[in-house]
Structure 1
Amino acid sequence: SGQTTEQLHPIKTKIYKRRFFMISLTCLGALTSGIQNVVYAGLPSSVKIYFKASPLVYDLLTSLYYFMFAISGVFCIWVIEKVGNRISHIIASIKCLLRLTSTHCNNFFIKKKGICYTNSKIFQVFVLSLPPKIAGTWFDSNQISTATSMTVFSYQAGNGLSLLLPPYIIPVSASDTNLLKTRMLYIFGFIAALAFVSFILIIIFFEEKPPLPPSTSAVVASITEEKPLIDSLKTVLSNSNFVRFIFTFAINYGSFCAIMTVIVSQILKADGSKLTDKTAGQIAATAAFSGITGPIFFGVWLDKTKKFLCTSSFVYGMALVSTAAYTVAVHSSVEWPLWITTIVFGIAFTSYMNIGMEIASELTFPEPASTSTSLIYSLGGVFCLIETEVARAIMDDGHILGSNIFFTMMLLVGFIITLTINGEMKR
C-alpha cells in the first residue's frame, strides 16, 4: 500500500471502448431514479385525491425521505466497498423497482408509502455515490469529469421529465376519479417498464471493472480500497479543506432540493399569481431541464483545464445570484423574468452537483470516490431536511418572500466558505 504512482507506472493500462456502454447503463439507472424522484411534485391536487391523503402526510413523508438520505451515507460506503461496483449497481436498480410498490391507491397508503420512501432513499445514496467510482474505474483521468457529468445529465433529465410530462397526462380537473386513476397508472406503467429494463440490462451486461486499469491513478485507488472503512473515513475527515467543502456542497444541494420541493407551491401562492398548476409545473420542469447541459459543459471544461476551485466558485456564485433573482421574479406581475431566472438557476445548481463530486474525489484521492461522494450527499440530505422544513414553516405563515430570502442567505454563507477552500487537487 506504500507504492507510489511512479512505481506503478510500468503496470500495463488500457482504455476500453465498452467504457461508454458501462457508463450508459449507469446513466439509464440515473434517469430512472430521477424520473421517480419528483414525479408527484407537479401534481399536488391530483396526487392528493388519488392517494386520499392530506398535505400533512406528504410533508411528513418528504421529511422522512430526506432523513433516511442523511443517515444512510456510511452504510452505503461500507456496502459499496464490500461488494463492489456491480452488486452496488444492482442494489441501486432495485430501488427503482421497490419504489413502484407504493404507487397503488389503497387504505394502506401511509404504511406502504412510508416503508418504500424509507428504503428507496437509502438506495438513492447508491445511485448518487456510484458514478464517480465507476467513472474512475473505466475512464482515463482526462475523461473522468465528463463521464461523471453524463450521469448527472441523465439524473436531471429524469427530474425534468417527471415535472414536465405528468401535467399533460393527468387532467387538470380531478372530478372524474376513474380517468384520474387510469392516467396515473399510465405514468406508473411507463416508469415500471423503464425500471425493469434498467434492472435487467445491469444484471446481464454491467461489468465490475475492465481487465486492465485505464490509468495508474486507478491502480492507486484500487490499492487504497483495501483499507478498512474506519481508516478511510478518518483520512478524509482529517482533511480540513474537504470538511469545509462538505458543508458548502451540503448547503448548495440542500437549497436546490428544498427549492425544487416548494417551487410549485411558491409560484401558485405568490402575491398576485394567476398561473395554473400546469404552467407552474412547466416552470419547475424548465429549472430541471435547463440544468442538463451544464454538467456536460463543465465536465468537459474540468477535464481540459483542471481549474476545479475557480470553476466551483464561479458556479456557486451563479447559484447565489440566480436564487436572489428568483426571489424577486416569483413576486413579479410579469411572467418572463421567472422563466429566465429558473433557467439560470437550473444550470447553476445542477452543474454544481457534478463539480462537487469531482472536487470531493480530487481533495480526498486516493481514498475511494464513493466514500467522499456518499459523505457530501449524506450531509446534503441533512440540509435538504432542515432547509425544506424551515422554508415550509415560513411559507405557512404566508411569507413566500421570507422563505426565498432564507435560501439566499444560506447560499451566501456557502459561497463565503467556498472561497476559503484551497486544497490540492490530487487525482
Structure 2
Amino acid sequence: MNSSTVNIARYDNDAEEIHDTEIKCPQDEEIHQHFKVYKKRFWILGIYSFLAFFQCLQWNLWGPLSDSVDTAFEGFGSDTVAMLANWGTITFLISAYPSVWIVDKRGIRVGVLIIAGLVTASTAMRAISMLFHSDTVVKVMCHLGAIVNGAAGPIVMTAPPVIAAVWFPPDERTTATGCGQLITLLGSAGSYLQPLIVRSPKHADKEEIRSDIARLLYIYVGVSLFCLVTVALYFPEKPSTPPSVSSSKKRIDLKGSAGKLVRNPNFGLTTISMAFCIAVPAGWYTVLNYSLGEIGIMQDEAMGIGFLAVLCSTLFGLLVSRITDILYGHLRVSLMFLMIGNIVFFYWFFLLSWGCINVSQWQVYVTVICGMSLNGSTIPLFTELAVEFAYPCSELVVAGFFTFAMNGLGMIFLFLFLIPDIGYEWVTYVLLATMSTSLILLVFIKENYKRMKEDKQGTATAE
C-alpha cells in the first residue's frame, strides 16, 4: 500500500495546537494531514457573541420598561410592546432566505458586518426620534427601528453553528455553538437591567422618564458604532488551516442542502420539536412583565426575575454544552430529561397563575428561573442534533430552517396579544402545550452522528 503525506499546516504564531489525523481514503491510501486550532477563534466567537447579545437586547428593548413607556408615551400598551418584539419574527421570516444566501455566497465576515450595520441603523432611528417632542414620531421610529434590527436576526441566529464548524475542533463545537446562541439570549437579561437607568413612574414624572429613555438610546448608539468599527477592523473569514476533518470538507450548496433536508424525516422532526420547545418561551420572555403583573409582581421586581432567568439560563446552558462535548452521543436523551424538568417548572407557574397555589416570591423566582434555564439549555443540543442529521449539508442552511420555524411559531404567539381583552392567563396553557408536543416528537427521532463519526476516523494527537 502506497502512502503519501499531505502537509497543509502553516505554523503561524497564534496556532495553539496541531492535530495530526490519518484518514483512510476509498483507494486505501493513507493521507496524513495537519489540522490546526487557532487562539484567534476565541476573538471571533467573542466579538460575534457580543454583537449578537446587543442585537437581542435591542429586540427586547421595551418589554422590561413597560411601566415607564406606558407613562412616557401615549399608546404604549402591551399590544404595542408585543408588536415591537414581533417585528423581529416577522422581519426574520421575510429576510431569512436573502440573509442565508448572502452569507453562503459572501461568507461569514460579510454577514457579521451586515448585523453590525443594521443594529447601528436601528439604534440611530430610535435615538433621533427623541429629538422630536411627538409621541407619534417616537412610536413610528420605534417600529421602523424594530424592523431594521429584526432584519439582522437571521444572520444572528444562523451564524453560531457555522462559526463553530469553521473555527473549532470537534471536542469544542457544542460549547462554541452554545456560547454563540446562549450569550445572544443573555441580551434579553441585559434588557432587564434598563430600569437601572430608566426610572419607573413611582420615582419620576413623565418628562423625567422621557429624559431617561433618551439617555439610554444615545448610549446604545455609541455601543453599536463601537461594534461596527471593531468588526470592520478585524474579523477574518476562516482559518488558513481547518481544525478537523469535517471542517475541511466542502458542504453541499444552498439549493442541494435545502432539497436534502426537506426529505430528511429525522431532521424535520428535530426542527419542529425545537420550534415548539423554544419559540413560545422566547416570545413569552419579551412580555414577561405582563404575566408577572397578573400575580402582583411589578416592573422593578420583574427586572430581577427576568435578569436572573436569562443569566442562569446562559450559565446552565454553557455547562450542559460543555458536558455534551465531553460525553458526546446522548443528545436525544439529554434533551428529553431537560424538557421533562422544563414542563414541571412551567406547570408549577401555571398553578401559581391560576391561583391553585398561594403566590409567594420565592416560588415565582424558582419557577421562572429554573423553567427558562432548562429551556435555554436545549438550544445548542437541538442545534448539534440537527447538524449531525444534516451533514454534509451546510450548517448555515440547517440553522436557517430551524430558526425560520421558531420565528414562525413565535410570530403567531405574539400576534395573539393583539386580540382585544385576551388577558394573560392563556399564556401558561400555551407554554405547557408546546413543550409537551416537543417532547412527544423527540420520542420518534432516531440518532445518527454522521459528522462526529467522520471526525473520529483517524487518531488525533496534539503537539
**2:60: which partner in 1?**
38
> Where in structure 2 are the equivalents of 1:223-234 lying within 5 Å?
223-225=250-252, 227=253, 229-234=254-259
Structure 1 unaligned segments of length 5 or more: list them. none
**1:387: which partner in 2?**
413
Normalized per residue, the structure richer in helix is 1
Give the secondary structure class of the aligned counterpart of 2:34: coil
CA separation in 1, counterparts of 2:198 and 2:116? Answer: 27
> Where in structure 2 are the equivalents of 1:210-249 lying within 5 Å?
210-220=239-249, 223-225=250-252, 227=253, 229-249=254-274
Match of 1:70 among 68, 89, 93: 93
Q: What TM-score, normalized to structure 2? A: 0.84
**Structure 1 position 172 matched with structure 2 position 195:** no
CA separation in 2, counterparts of 1:345 and 1:279? Answer: 18
**1:372: which partner in 2?**
398
Give the secondary structure class of the aligned counterpart of 2:61: coil
**1:82: which partner in 2?**
105
**Structure 1 position 140 matched with structure 2 position 169:** yes
**2:282: which partner in 1?**
257
| Counterpart residue type for residue 304 of structure 2 | Q
CA contact (8 A) 1:289 1:346 kept: no
**Structure 1 position 118 matched with structure 2 position 147:** yes
Deviation by residue 1:402-421 (Cα, 9 ceiling, x = unmatched): 33122201211111001211
CA separation in 2, counterparts of 1:9 and 1:51? Answer: 67
CA separation in 1, counterparts of 2:141 and 2:263? Answer: 41
Moved more, 119-128 or 175-184: 175-184
CA contact (8 A) 1:70 1:377 kept: no
Q: Specify the structure having the higher radius of gyration (Cα).
A: 2
CA contact (8 A) 1:391 1:403 kept: no
> Where in structure 2 are the equivalents of 1:22-33 lying within 5 Å?
22-33=44-55
| Counterpart residue type for residue 162 of structure 2 | K
Q: What TM-score, normalized to structure 1? A: 0.90
**1:336: which partner in 2?**
362
| Counterpart residue type for residue 340 of structure 1 | V
Q: CA deviation at 1:233?
A: 0.3
| Counterpart residue type for residue 387 of structure 1 | F
Structure 2 unaligned segments of length 5 or more: list them. 1-21, 452-463
CA separation in 1, counterparts of 2:80 and 2:361? Answer: 32
| Counterpart residue type for residue 432 of structure 2 | T
Q: CA RMSD in A?
A: 2.2
CA separation in 1, counterparts of 2:335 and 2:291? Answer: 28
Q: Percent identity?
A: 18
CA separation in 2, counterparts of 1:392 and 1:323? Answer: 24
**Structure 1 position 413 matched with structure 2 position 434:** no
Match of 2:228 among 199, 223, 229: 199
| Counterpart residue type for residue 406 of structure 2 | G
Runs of 4+ more than 6 Å apart: none
Normalized per residue, the structure richer in strand is 2
Aligned residues: 414
Q: CA deviation at 1:208?
A: 0.2
> Where in structure 2 are the equivalents of 1:265-414 lying within 5 Å?
265-270=290-295, 273=296, 275-306=297-328, 307-330=330-353, 331=355, 332-390=358-416, 393=419, 396-398=421-423, 400-414=424-438
**2:183: which partner in 1?**
154
| Counterpart residue type for residue 118 of structure 2 | K
CA separation in 1, counterparts of 2:430 and 2:53? Answer: 31
Give the secondary structure class of the aligned counterpart of 1:12: strand
CA separation in 2, counterparts of 1:97 and 1:253? Answer: 27
Q: CA deviation at 1:51?
A: 4.0
